Amino acid sequence: MWLFLAFLLVPLIEIGLFIQVGGLIGLWPTLLIVILTAILGTWMVKQQGARAINDLRRSFSQLEDPSQPLAHGAMILISGALLLTPGFFTDAVGFALLAPPVRVAVFGWVRKRVKVSSFQMGPQPTDMHRPHDPRNAPPASQDVIDGEFTEAPKGKSPNHPGSGWTRH
């Protein structure tokens, strides 16, 4: 229901704002503002997006919770779509989403309303010192592959030309 209202109200708000602003400053200045906000918004989205990607990479490399950088990246993406959509209301919301304090507030609001049932990244500290217990192992696959191997001699590489496996 709320999505239907958004699709109905946002265009009506934009049309009303275009009429009001166009009546105050004229057609060409109104169109110039729309074009300039799209250009400025594109540049800002590029800058903020690069920063969000770096934050996401940092969170992965340091094995931190990536939910906040992912959420910031998603909000920057939404901001870019809103800034490329012609209109004053969508531009205002798009520019607001480019402000980090607004994104932090939106993320906090969403975080309070979403319940994460489980989140695990990498081996847990308690798992590293725990002996292997076959009862905790995942169920075995129905496909069993049996094989033998021999270690390659130190002087030869595994794909040494003497091997029959590398000939085509």
Q: Which residues of the chain have pLDDT under 50?
A: none
CA distance 31 to 67: 38
Distances (CA, A) of 85 to 40, 95, 153: 13, 12, 64
> Cα(87)–Cα(70) distance, rounded to whole angstroms?
27
CA distance 22 to 30: 6
Asked whether 13 and 82 are in contact (CB, 8 A), the reply is no
Q: Please report the pLDDT score of residue 125 as a whole number.
A: 58
CB 49 within 8 Å of CB 76:
yes
Helix or strand or coil: residue 10? helix
Domain ranges of the chain: 34-113
pTM above 0.85, yes or no: no
Q: What confidence score (pLDDT) does residue 140 get?
A: 60
If we measure between CA atoms, which residue out of 161, 167, 165, 133 comes closest to residue 149?
165
